[in-house]
Amino acid sequence: MATTSCDVAIVGAGLGGCFLALLLGRRGRHVVVIEQGPSVPSAGADFLKPPGLRVLARHGLADLVGRHGLWRDTVRYYHDGDPIQECRFPDGGFLIRPYRELVELIYTSCAMESVEFWFDAAIDDITMGDGQVEELTLADGRRLRAGVVIGADGTKSAIRRALGIEQRTTPYERLQMRVATVPLSASVAQLNRLYFSSEGWFAYLYPLDRDQARVFVGLPPEDDKEIFQDGIPALLDELKKFVTDSSDAFNSLQAAAWQPIKVSSLRVEAYHRGNAALLGSAAFACHPMTGMGMSYTLRDAEILADVICAAAGDPELLDRLLQARYEPRGHAHRQLIDYGDSLVATFRDPRAYLAAFRSDLHVYGDADLTKPAPPELQLT
């Protein structure tokens, strides 16, 4: 079967892969995105925080993404039923938009550029030579050669494995999470409320659109086993102990389909080797209580696009630029992962939780995300 050549091969059509493809396509690079699924991923994050919105705004995507989403500016936190604090998001707040919709918008924008998407494309082999990725072979025999290869292929990244980059995955073993989509109730429409209990439970209720709400529940694994074997009424009994101002949602929780979610943090020893780099969940994963994974991923894609274009096909320059401009992102990722860990470790105890809570990181992200855009990217 024929071999295709391109400037950049991106493995994974999630938010990171699609956004990077768009940025590179707009700058005239021939990009091929390989996605193992039949379309862009269907499940993922719901909240896009101000730093991520600013990245999208720099590339003219803010209106497109914000138009049909839900805007919120406050999250109220409770402990054992009592309000303990509010986190406010200035300047328009943050956006709720289901992950699939968000990624699809960016994917659709790629249609105007020289970006090819290969869906249902499983990688069979990754040929390495001289510390570089030389060729990707797909299960159907197609072969792809690229000057740059990006592993945007999630936490179990095949590209990361092929590069021999060490990783540390740490499951949040003491906190099982479940999610359900339910009809919207008045209290959820009014405000995002996040409830914690000293028994190690949490419940987060927020609107998804004008009709539906999402409910995340976190609980000790032993309770999860008991509750979800014994049946939903036991779940409601537990929730009633610490969920106070959202009782109008209880009726719908009874009939909800509660999906388990496995959450782990992921740290890697390096972000690139030779002509290949990792992006998004292939490079780092933090606890979703930070609500920042997408914002950091968007910023990282922006840096990668700049580096790839500046290297202009010179492999040595690419390696040097990745080392100088992309590897330092590890500092911000580690800070975010540590922050997520500290929220998970303290939420049973309101004093410890409030001491750990960093509204700056929660609202604005790391210093690099807070800095003004480089002059060439600033909006007029």
Ligand X SMILES: Cc1cc2nc3c(=O)[nH]c(=O)nc-3n(C[C@H](O)[C@H](O)[C@H](O)COP(=O)(O)OP(=O)(O)OC[C@H]3O[C@@H](n4cnc5c(N)ncnc54)[C@H](O)[C@@H]3O)c2cc1C
324 by Cβ neighbours in 10 Å (0-12 / 13-18 / 19+) ranks as exposed
- Tell me which of 8, 10, 13, 162 binds ligand X, using CB under 6 A: 13
**What span, in angstroms and rounded, lies between the C-alpha atoms of 264 and 170?**
5
* Residue range at the interface with ligand X (CB under 6 A); choices 14-22, 141-149, 167-175, 207-215: 14-22
Binding mask 106-125 for ligand X (x = CB under 6 A): -----------------x--
Range 214-243, binding ligand X (CB under 6 A): none
Identified binder of ligand X from the candidate list 6, 7, 10, 16, rule CB under 6 A: 16
∠280-113-121 over CA atoms, to 5°?
55
Binding piece for ligand X, criterion CB under 6 A, among 38-46, 207-215, 251-259, 344-352:
38-46
CA distances from 340 to 162, 263, 289, 356 (A): 28, 11, 6, 10
By CB under 6 A, the residues from 278 to 307 that bind ligand X are: 280-281, 288, 291-295, 297
346-377 burial: b if 16+ Cβ within 10 Å, else e = bbbebeebeebbeeebbbbbbeebeeeeeeee
Dist CA 167 CA 269 (whole Å): 6
Residue pair 3/145 in contact (Cβ under 8 Å)? The answer is yes
Helix (H, G, I), strand (E, B) or coil at 124: strand
- State which of residues 98, 147, 154, 274 lies at the interface with ligand X (CB under 6 A): 154
Distance CA 122, CA 79 (A): 46
Give 134 or 349: the residue with its C-beta nearer to ligand X: 134
Interface with ligand X, residue 11, by CB under 6 A = yes
> Rounded to the nearest whole angstrom, what is the least distance from the CB of residue 380 to ligand X in the complex?
27
Q: Which of 25, 41, 147, 274 binds ligand X (CB under 6 A)?
A: 41
Residue 94 interacting with ligand X (CB under 6 A): no
For the bound state, the minimum distance from the C-beta of residue 277 to ligand X, rounded and expressed in Å, comes to: 12
Q: In the complex with ligand X, which residue's Cβ is closer, 251 or 259?
A: 259
Classify residue 285 by its DSSP letter: B
Site for ligand X in 256-275 (CB under 6 A): 261, 263
Rank residues 47 and 78 by Cβ distance to ligand X and give the closer one: 47
Which residue lies nearer to ligand X by CB, 14 or 147? 14
Nearest to 49 by CA among 96, 103, 107: 96
The least distance separating ligand X from the CB of residue 348, rounded to whole angstroms, comes to 20
Q: Say if CB 188 and CB 195 are below 8 A apart.
A: no
**Residues composing the chain:** 380
Instruction: Give me the residue label for tokens 């922050």.
Output: 339
Q: Which of 189, 261 has the CB closer to ligand X?
A: 261
Give the binding site for ligand X (CB under 6 A): 11-17, 34-37, 41, 44-47, 123, 152-154, 158, 261, 263, 280-281, 288, 291-295, 297
